[in-house]
Chain A
Amino acid sequence: MAEPLLAVTNLETFYGPVMAIRGVSFEVPRGSIVTILGANGAGKTTILKTVSGVMDPQKGTVSFNGREIQGRDPDRVARLGLSHVPEGREVFPFLTVRENLAMGAYTRSDADGVARDMEMVYEYFPVLKSRAEQRAGSLSGGEQQMLSISRALMARPAMMLLDEPSLGLSPRLVKEIFDIIVRINRERGVTVLLVEQNAHMALTIAQFGYVLEVGRIVMEDTCARLLEKEDIKEFYLGVKEAGVRGTRRWKRKKMWR
């Protein structure tokens, strides 16, 4: 098998005395979409932050493109081609859409290429073009999410870390954004590590998935197989047998197998 683009081994990350990531290893093959599922507080965001350099791990290695990058500053990680799209669409509210996109390309000096890429993201998200001169703070939630993905794309990354792109969006918008994530992956060859609570969407577009519970991976498999697992169905997809009374409130024990 070819060397994975991103390989994380034995990662441990703390918030003060609290161990948020308790020894996690996973791989993201080049050109693929891999998802990490998990409930609130499982440590998904912490993993992304540790990979992108926002947080330093206590232990373990993060290797990107064959190079160890753990503990490096986020801007240096970004220059290596790893773009982090944080949760909660953190756009620059007082800059215009165009200015926001330009910020995404600040590491680049090829003005022509930047202009071309700007056209490319306008093509992915036409609504951004019509709002190009508007302040980002006045955009809707979905448009802001599109903008933060686009801004990340402007750096021409080899890989994108997407933190809950579906958060707070209407089902129609979620579908739209996920479709475009798939297109970016296919057309631009951008590798994607996707962290999601919307398990159904994530499992549909990704090839491989990991399930994270309180800082540890409890399950890994291809998404097609994960979709068939009883525990995934009950705890992530909300499908459960109705039981004898037609309404069942209690939960099965999680077994992860």
Chain B
Amino acid sequence: MSHPDRIWTIHGQDTLPRLFRHVVKERGDAVAMREKHLGIWRAITWREYGERARHVGLGLVALGLQPRDVVSVISDNCPEWLYTDLGTMSVGGVTNGIYTTDSPRQVEYILNDSGTRFFFAENEEQLDKILEVRARCPQLVKIFVYDMEGLHDFHDEQVMPFVVLLELGARYAREHPGALDPLVEIARPHDLAILVYTSGTTGPPKGAMLSHQNIIFQLGYSDFIAEPRPGDQQLSFLPLSHVAERTFTVFFPLRTGATVNFAESIDTVPENIREVGPAVFFAVPRIWEKFYSGVALRMREATPIGKLAYRWAIGIGTQMAERRIAGRTPSLFLRLLYRVADFFVLDNVKRSLGLHRTRGAATGAAPIAPELIKWYMALGIDMREVYGQTENCGLATAMPPGRIKLGTVGVRRPDTEVALSPAGEILLKGPHVFLGYYKNPDRTAETVVDGWLRTGDVGEIDGDGFVRVTDRMKDIIITAGGKNVTPSEIENQLKFSPYITDAVVIGDQRKFLSCLIMLDPDTVAQFAQERNVPFTNFASLCRAREIQDLIWSEIERVNKQVARVEGIKRFHLIEQILTPEDEELTPTMKLKRSYVNRKYKDVIDGMYAGA
């Protein structure tokens, strides 16, 4: 169990600035990251990483940064984000990431709530957001811009190109030799390191405070996916403003030394994975679902022999996976068959996905269908589900390598505790529990009670310590008939369909269950084309009789699987292609239950009218 006074270290270092300084010195000219420039991957060494971060930090000091000042970044993943992150922390500052899809109004709220004094914007588009609201952000001192394209004729007292900041920092370093070392020592192990605003589905976002020790402690577990090896590659593409990607891209490599490769954009992720061949891969279920539907659709178009070979190979892989899940060693014969299946088929599938070098994969941040994990295991990919939230620095439980129970999120991370409240709520305790919400003692007191973090999730823990997450506490549906229904279980099964991206089950205080469905536009359009279903735009596709029938058959399949609870009786397709800019979606592209319930109230009432 945890020792409250114990200080955790990585490579003998107890804070992120110290750890960063240490690994930069150790690794020198090894490659820390790569980004694509005009189509060519360009390497950045740890030495360069260290120097640029130092210049960001000292540049900020030259402009008046004080310890504990908050620095906010709104940018897609890029090396500059990382220079800013570790540079800020190295001089005693606190970094905070903002989603690039946030509106000016949301940016304004977070800036004022966090008291941001320095702001980093990726480009012209993000700069415009801050310029629109800066008059109402009195504490803001300076705005920096990473990419000045299209802004060369723009001059403003408060705005400075990022390169100018680097020059300023370099000059400060020359004029004040030895200035950095004492600044690196400012941060104490239990001090605030970063703020992570949680995308509240109800109420305004709250800034979760994570300490150096929270992060250092979690780094101690960074090898749970796979033992690191020299030359390991990672791909960075999920938003850095999310705690999972931040940990994976910025902090994990401090321990493992893996090279981080930045995807060019979210659209090029499939190509970039193939180029990079990541050794470890973390993604949210949506990405894993997308990969799977891609393969499923390609197989539908394959030649009869191809289809047969795939079905046979996946069958062998599934048998292997099932043995593994049951904790049994597969027979020699089965293992031999698997080698053949892998050589001729499965390896090609993995290559087409870019996962052929992947030794460990993890899924988290949202629930996933167990069947999907099994499919990846059948391919031979060691896929582990993890569970956690921002407030416990990302990871609370993970599937252990030796023993797998599908449908659970694994066992507690070592040196932490998991328990259930009398109401069935999952509680967490340990060095990973955060410091509280920024300047919000009331919410903090509601969330952390006697050192136990209330997750807001309802679940179960079995005799072997495996945790099963049933649902968000506030999402549980009680139908008019008094039946308790956990919507996420049904929703996950629905999302397993290649045609359904996301679904929201409705039925609280209602006579029966219904659901709103967000289609996958690509797979559904392909389905329509194959069957000569005429459609013009997305709305007409949704209304096509054949598509309605298709989705209904998918729902019936799920209804059979969840027969012990109530089945879905009606459904409605969302007739717009939603993007992260839409209020219906969280930045990680999940439908927001409460918002969707409000926005589609008429549609929902319509489903119950006359029933």
Contacts and interface: CB of A to CB of B under 8 A. Distances in A.
What secondary structure prevails in chain B residues at the interface with A? loop
Given A24-B536, A245-B131, A250-B124, 11 more contacts: A9-B532, A10-B528, A10-B529, A25-B536, A59-B532, A216-B525, A219-B537, A243-B128, A245-B128, A250-B128, A256-B577
B125 A245 contact: no
Interface residues of B, number: 24
Interface string B121-151: 0011100100110000000000000000110
Contact of A257 (B149, B532, B576): B576
B124 A249 contact: yes
A257 B537 CA distance: 10
A250 B121 CA distance: 14
Nearest to A8: B534
Contact of B532 (A60, A217, A220): A60
A245 B125 CA distance: 11
A1 to B, nearest CB: 15
Interface string A213-257: 000111110000000000000000000000111011110010111
17 contacts: A10-B529, A10-B532, A10-B533, A23-B535, A216-B525, A217-B537, A218-B537, A218-B538, A219-B537, A220-B536, A220-B537, A220-B540, A245-B128, A245-B131, A249-B124, A255-B576, A256-B538
B581 interface: yes
Nearest to B125: A250
B484 interface: no
A219 to B, nearest CB: 6
Interface in B570-584: 576-577, 579, 581
Interface of B: 123-125, 128, 131-132, 149-150, 154, 525, 528-529, 532-538, 540, 576-577, 579, 581
A41 to B, nearest CB: 17
Contacts, number: 60
A12 interface: yes
B538 to A, nearest CB: 8
A22 interface: yes
Nearest to B576: A257
Contact of B581 (A9, A219, A245, A253): A253
A185 to B, nearest CB: 23
A175 B149 CA distance: 37
Given A10-B534, A244-B132, A253 B528 contact: no
A64 interface: no
Contacts of B150: 249-250
A12 B309 CA distance: 29
Interface of A: 9-10, 12, 22-26, 59-60, 210, 216-220, 243-245, 247-250, 253, 255-257
Given A59-B529, A250-B150, A25 B534 contact: yes
A245 B154 contact: yes
Contacts of A217: 536-537
Contacts of A219: 537
Nearest to B129: A244
Given A216-B525, A244-B128, A244-B131, A255 B536 contact: no
Nearest to B531: A10
A217 B534 CA distance: 12
Nearest to A12: B529
Question: 9 tightest CB-CB pairs across the interface, nearest first?
Answer: A249-B150, A25-B534, A250-B125, A23-B529, A9-B534, A244-B131, A217-B536, A220-B536, A10-B532
A10 B532 CA distance: 6
A218 to B, nearest CB: 6
A214 to B, nearest CB: 12
B370 to A, nearest CB: 34
A28 B72 CA distance: 53
A75 B581 CA distance: 50
Nearest to A250: B125
B577 A255 contact: yes
Given A9-B532, A245-B154, A256 B128 contact: no
For B131, B525, B535, B536, the residue with the greatest tally of chain A CB atoms inside 10 Å of its CB is B536
